[in-house]
Structure 1
């Protein structure tokens, strides 16, 4: 019979948790039940819900705003589509590696249980700390800013993002989304389902519009009043001078190989931002009824679907617009629909895109709350953030008994309301203090630093524990490729944004001080 230390679940809320990585049982196998039994949430989600959450998070503002910035940094539309494909494949390699870890070491909190298992408690803490105070608040702030910016753009107003009215509206959107996620898990997943339908409908409308233009111009070659004509008259992979947003032009034939690498890496960075969210299915692995089967299935169906949607939508953009217009707009979908159908339909397109962004906000807020719950269960945050279904501190047992008696027959919320309030407050602070571009870079630095460590850890774990039960095990080349790419993203981001990198390092130092202070306090209390 195994000892208590060998059978303690990785995510147990017990105060006696070890600071070292959790050891496998004597047979070398760690099962899903061993690790996930400390979850705060019921296992009431299935593959369809996990699929919908990934779709809802990933298909957000990126597919409607990033094409212009990517086109600016490549010599041809064909090259842009290749960048979108490569970005999708890289996202898939990262998601597949996360699925391997998620089925071998399922639990709450995303990457933190994996890092804690592989490298030790302090790495798990710093991952949780970074996601809770930096990555997720920055993500929610970015999406809220994009939501309000889309409304302003539909009204023909630009360059208002730094005004206090814009920021307060962004915060209001955050609060509304937080309230929606505070009702219950079932409500959140149903809303996600609605937003998934909205996302697919929007992309389908863009693709159908492109197909209509193709049919019209193929049957009537002389018509130039519908869509763009460049797709029909110019080579898709032929170099063409690119018109930049500031009016300058990039002549690709006169650039050095180093300059070309810089442009392509910038384009790839934009594509990876558009695909961001591919990792979010692992954050609900503890709530899946059968994670070993459902998690890989959700990821391996959602990511290819997203890649297909992104490539077909971008192809449609190049059909609907002249190629020198694509690189100069940050609202390519609205621009394309407005040019094709007029200002009225452009406003409708902007409204629909707002709904798409709202879906991403809902999904990310849903995940952010669960991160704080997992950290509170580890006692890395105050215990009130692990509270489900009510605001404030947990009631005493006798109060809970009285409350249960008085509320018999009612259904309590299972939403982490305190945790959602925390993420909303932090996101509001980021909106007030930051701006879109700075938050985007800051978010990427924080995410990919720990993506790199996590995927590297998956490789280390294959060598250290070859007998670990892995229901899903992709080729080792897959995590190796993603480790190289994520390392490149972090180094590149730190070089081009040293101030933001320094801010992130300061946050890590603060987190380390809090971790060791908590550890010392626990040691003295026991002593």
Structure 2
């Protein structure tokens, strides 16, 4: 899907000097092509960057979403097909992020790419990213999975309050660790990331063990009929639901399971050898996740009866372990390991999104931007963590825990597809407008167009009603799309008021000025200049 060019963006010898030379004007959008080192230094090696990606990708998705996907689409065959299609489309999105990340090697991810590509209307792209980062930049889903699997392991049916309390406790502890003990936080998330990888490998090997040695002793009828059965193919596709609305919401869940392949793009200022590391780490993580996801799904279907999978909610992995290893190990120890895996995901998401919030603040699009952009008081993006903490806390505590998990995934996924469409289309635009830019990684253009077409199709899908006119969380089937569009429309309205309407009535223009904070962080101030 991509080709690589050997020409580096900047030679190693010139990188440091370039950062020094351009320190007074590095906030210019045009200078996003120049690498920038964070004031807290480059602390992420190749292995740390790999864990940052793979631990973000392998989160609650593979342990929680297969049950919801099978329940929605009805059959094993269609479910597995969507995982394969989702993998291919996620790879198309990845090569887009790789071209952008190697071309514009700075922290911020999509924020940097959209600002660089869509400079008019002025400040619109930056405002939409700021609204999306604040209102949708939460990590509630994995906190919820952590809580559910922990209570399940101790055979406790929690109250709604208990579930929320444990989820909020995890979020709070991780925020404190990353804010106060940054290097320790990196070490912890690295260790938990490897635990997570071994857990999924163990799950996959358990499915192989069952089919070879215990196929007849697990359940009277597992999801997959015994190998060699004449009705296997028909059974795989039985009860398939081919509604495009249903397929699209299931694809959103697959995409969620691959979310984070571009996680390193958010923290490029802290990565050693950023361009070289980005090119290899993300592809390695994609291959790892693809193999593990396919094997894990096969393991579920080999062991757990289909009806149980459909009714499992977010506990399909717990049922799998209970079927294979019995009530002691299967219901206690291994579900606790899944809870640890969810906690690891919360750590890497919090680590990355705090940096995105910090970059948004550096651009002047958040209140108290000087404070949020600073690395004080603990030489970490402390206030970026707080910005991430607040919406996550609200999403965990305000709704009922019953159906909130799937709804969160859908609401996160829909605006994400709008931004993905803009980013993918941006690659095509820049190929035409800016052929002068160096591209150490160049995406295969058909893959970019496939990503564009898929995003358009998924954005239209919620408005094709399913048979019962309800989504997979018993709401109106297009609720998640309406909420997602509403958030982006709010961003557009906010942009219009503060960049067009207020300057018009106040007789001033908004101008950007660069300021260097006392910790060395350069920020952009938006100042009012009277119109003469």
Q: Give the TM interval when normalised to the shorter protein.
A: 0.7 to 0.9
Name the TM-score, length of structure 2 as normaliser: 0.80
Match of 1:200 in 2: 197
Deviation string for 1:230-272 (max 9, x for gaps)?
4425469623398xxxxxxx844xx7xxx44444333322211
Asked whether 1:238 is paired with 2:233, we answer: yes
Match of 2:263 in 1: 280
Check conservation: 2:174, 2:347, Cα contact below 8 A. Answer: yes
The DSSP-based 3-state class of the residue aligned with 2:137 is helix
Distance 1:13 1:489, change over 3 A: farther
Which piece of structure 1 moves more, 231-240 or 99-108? 231-240
Query: Could you tell me which of 270, 284, 287 is aligned with 2:253?
Result: 270
The DSSP-based 3-state class of the residue aligned with 1:473 is strand
CA RMSD of superposed structures (Å): 3.0
Match of 2:392 in 1: 427
* Runs of 5+ consecutive residues of structure 1 not aligned to the other structure: 1-6, 23-29, 243-249, 391-412
Query: Could you tell me which of 327, 343, 347 is aligned with 1:343?
Result: 327
Asked whether 1:308 is paired with 2:291, we answer: yes
Which piece of structure 1 moves more, 119-128 or 467-476? 119-128
Structure 1 segment 322-337 matched on structure 2, within 5 A: 322-330=305-313, 331-337=315-321
In the TM superposition, what is the alpha-carbon distance from 1:38 to its structure 2 partner?
6.8
For residues 77 and 225 of structure 1, the distance between their equivalents in structure 2, rounded to whole angstroms, comes to 17
For residues 16 and 196 of structure 1, the distance between their equivalents in structure 2, rounded to whole angstroms, comes to 34
Check conservation: 2:136, 2:412, Cα contact below 8 A. Answer: yes
Check conservation: 1:445, 1:494, Cα contact below 8 A. Answer: no
Check conservation: 1:79, 1:237, Cα contact below 8 A. Answer: no
Query: Could you tell me which of 340, 365, 370 is aligned with 1:383?
Result: 370
Match of 2:471 in 1: none
Distance 1:195 1:229, change over 3 A: same
Structure 1 segment 23-42 matched on structure 2, within 5 A: 35-37=34-36, 39-42=38-41
The DSSP-based 3-state class of the residue aligned with 1:523 is strand
Asked whether 1:524 is paired with 2:529, we answer: yes
Structure 1 segment 139-288 matched on structure 2, within 5 A: 140-156=139-155, 160=159, 163-217=160-214, 223=217, 228=222, 230-233=224-227, 234=229, 238-240=233-235, 251-252=239-240, 259-288=242-271
Deviation string for 1:57-82 (max 9, x for gaps)?
11011101111122224464343222
For residues 231 and 185 of structure 1, the distance between their equivalents in structure 2, rounded to whole angstroms, comes to 50
Name the count of aligned residue pairs. Answer: 467
Query: Could you tell me which of 356, 359, 365 is aligned with 2:341?
Result: 356
Match of 2:520 in 1: none
Distance 1:463 1:167, change over 3 A: same
For residues 419 and 211 of structure 1, the distance between their equivalents in structure 2, rounded to whole angstroms, comes to 44
The DSSP-based 3-state class of the residue aligned with 1:240 is helix
Check conservation: 1:96, 1:296, Cα contact below 8 A. Answer: no
Distance 1:313 1:229, change over 3 A: closer
Asked whether 1:490 is paired with 2:459, we answer: yes
Match of 1:409 in 2: none
For residues 23 and 392 of structure 2, the distance between their equivalents in structure 1, rounded to whole angstroms, comes to 27
Check conservation: 1:97, 1:474, Cα contact below 8 A. Answer: yes
Match of 2:85 in 1: 86
Check conservation: 1:182, 1:416, Cα contact below 8 A. Answer: yes
